[in-house]
Structure 1
Amino acid sequence: MNAYDLVRGLHILAVIAWMAGMLFLPRLYAYDAEQNAKPEPLKSEMQALLRTWQTRLLRIILNPAMILALIFGVWLFWLRSGQGADWSFAHQPWMITKLIGVVLLFGWHGFLAGQRKKIAAGTSKYSGRFWRMTNEIPFVLAIIMVLSVTTEWTLR
């Protein structure tokens, strides 16, 4: 086993955990938003439980997984370059596509984290329908990034 394969495996595991959290958190937000139509005793109890789950998911799974994915991703980038000797791959369309996807995922993660605070404060303006419609954003980005990296399409 070489270092690149080990780091790549760890990166994939971290990304799986990150993606799982990013696919589940909007679902919790949707359930939370839908509680507003329920009578008060049930609404308060369920929202308190959902908000605890949201916070724990973000702090215990999403944030650590994102940080590990970033660390292992940067490490892979460094190893792929031959420890800084050849950065030519960084200018290829497949890598640019991957990096754009990473930036978009970080943006979505930030948006989700910010919305958790607004939901907890009762100031979120988004409905359950919005959260269900946007739930697949991370997966669509993942499809694009994985296919760009695994096919390594280039300009010829």
Structure 2
Amino acid sequence: MAAHYLWIKAFHVIAVIAWYAGLFYIFRLYVYHVQKRDEPAVTATLEVMERRLLRGIMMPAMIVSLALGTTMLVLQPELLRMPWMHMKLGAIVFLLGYHGFASHTRKRFLAKDYFLSETACRWINEVPTVLLFFIVIGVIVRKPM
């Protein structure tokens, strides 16, 4: 494996970790947001935290993750013939949907439309963990190429 591929892979993993940090935390913030919806000073602080998390961490990390992942697939297109890669790419589609839903939720909460309960936010917060199991197990526990 060429050295430049390993550098790309290393930075891909770093970007994924940063993206996942945000994915793990955003709906936890929404739990607090729903809990404190009648306290304007607290919700104002949470809105700033949510915006900074989504725009400052999650979005850039997602873009870098996708760009570097795509680069690795271009450099090693044979990976696309592997069943585990199909599972990983399917899980990534769900992660992108989760990320989009997190952005949608923020917009609704900004409009004071609390369409999700605290309990729903707690359950939704577990989605990235389930997807992480599929992704990591698929990538690590696989047939050798």
Above 0.5 in TM-score? Answer: yes
Residue 30 of structure 1: aligned partner: 31
When the two structures are aligned, how many residues end up with a matched partner? 143
Residue 54 of structure 2 aligns to a residue in which SS? helix
Runs (4 or more) in structure 1 with deviation over 3 Å come to none
1:33 partner amino acid: V
Residue 42 of structure 2: aligned partner: 46
Structure 2 residue ranges without an equivalent (≥5):
none
8 Å Cα contact 1:93/1:153 also seen in 2 = no
Per-residue Cα deviation, 1:7-52 (whole angstroms, up to 9, x for no partner):
110000000000000110100000000113x5xxxx0100010011
The separation in 2 between residues aligned to 1:101 and 1:71, in whole angstroms, is 16
The partner residue of 2:120 within 107, 130, 150 is 130
Offset at 1:139? Answer: 1.8
The separation in 2 between residues aligned to 1:151 and 1:11, in whole angstroms, is 19
Task: Specify the structure having the higher radius of gyration (Cα).
Answer: 1
The separation in 2 between residues aligned to 1:23 and 1:136, in whole angstroms, is 8
**% identity of equivalent residues:** 35
8 Å Cα contact 1:94/1:149 also seen in 2 = yes
Offset at 1:152? Answer: 2.5
Offset at 1:117? Answer: 0.4
In the TM superposition, 1:139-150 aligns within 5 A as 139-150=129-140
- Cα RMSD of the aligned pairs, angstroms, is 1.4
TM-score, normalised via structure 1 length: 0.87
Residue 98 of structure 1: aligned partner: 88
Residue 84 of structure 1: aligned partner: none
The separation in 1 between residues aligned to 2:56 and 2:72, in whole angstroms, is 24
TM-score, normalised via structure 2 length: 0.93
Offset at 1:134? Answer: 1.5
Offset at 1:130? Answer: 0.8
